[in-house]
Structure 1
């Protein structure tokens, strides 16, 4: 890597990457807390997607927000940040696919917890979520890269 490329990567990894992680974990935490504040309304939102059986909606209406808050906190734990980042990325992709499916079917739904506060058209929510998925993928990629570098340095130390 050239000196300028190395400098750019350094700026990204020490400034932008933590900033992205703060934004993403903040988004997860606020999203989870907003859903927990009105679990009944969130259950109604889940029903509107027409993707879940009626029996599972109430359980998932409590489970999803708790999972979001837990992921927001644990994404900062160094030992498991790659695993948590993978789970976050998968959940964001599933949620984006569900919103895209609702948009494709022409369903009239509010998109999750932020739909009450910031009403958007579903196509705008899909675009916004696509950007969030890309941000989460960038953070996960950097986390994987850092973990591999740490492994290499530990192996080198062990061989000396």
Structure 2
């Protein structure tokens, strides 16, 4: 198993997948801050005073971490940031399910409801982030050749 996880091409592929998911998710939320703010409010977890600032900052964190991850910049650190976000998302979805809320998760626009499927998706992405933190990904997508 360690041989698979230490394969640089495997790590590159999973890194690109996670990066693209978070780039897309961040961009989607940035394009509709009011809708994302409503999605956060629907969870009924945070004080109302914090919702707007979170609705503005969280998507940019997702987008920037995704872009940096895509280009192989500080892979372990950005995988840790995204992994932490995923853990928070898993907890928020689980709490909503326990409380019986039938709400949109706020992940990729409208129509993604909280539930076991969302917990499974986020858990899989969290595992991928842990793999990236443990094994890193040395392949970078930037051309860093030096010219003399």
Q: Tell me, yes or no, whether TM beats 0.5.
A: yes
How high is the TM-score relative to the length of structure 2?
Answer: 0.83
Runs of 4+ in structure 1 deviating by more than 6 angstroms, as ranges, are: none
Q: CA deviation at 1:11?
A: 8.1
**In 2: Cα distance, 1:59 partner to 1:101 partner:** 22
Correspondence 1:86-125 to 2 at 5 A? 86-114=80-108, 116-117=110-111, 119-120=112-113, 122-125=115-118
8 Å CA contact 2:65–2:82 kept in 1: the answer is: yes
Correspondence 1:1-160 to 2 at 5 A? 9=3, 13-76=7-70, 80-114=74-108, 116-117=110-111, 119-120=112-113, 122-143=115-136
Q: CA deviation at 1:84?
A: 1.7
Q: CA deviation at 1:45?
A: 0.3
**RMSD of aligned Cα (Å):** 2.3
**In 1: Cα distance, 2:129 partner to 2:67 partner:** 15
Instruction: Provide Cα deviations, 1:119-145, integer angstroms capped at 9, x if missing partner.
Output: 34511111111111111111111119x
Gaps of 5+ in 2: 139-148
Give 1:150's aligned residue.
none
Q: CA deviation at 1:80?
A: 2.4
Instruction: Provide Cα deviations, 1:57-107, integer angstroms capped at 9, x if missing partner.
Output: 011101000000110112256562222221111111111111111111111
Q: Which has the higher contact order (CA 8 A, sep 6+)?
A: 2
Q: CA deviation at 1:52?
A: 0.9
8 Å CA contact 2:29–2:109 kept in 1: the answer is: no
How high is the TM-score relative to the length of structure 1?
Answer: 0.77
Q: CA deviation at 1:15?
A: 2.1
Judged with a 3 Å threshold, the aligned counterparts in structure 2 of structure 1 residues 14 and 92 are, in CA distance, closer, same or farther, namely same
**In 2: Cα distance, 1:124 partner to 1:83 partner:** 27
Whose radius of gyration is greater, 1 or 2? 1
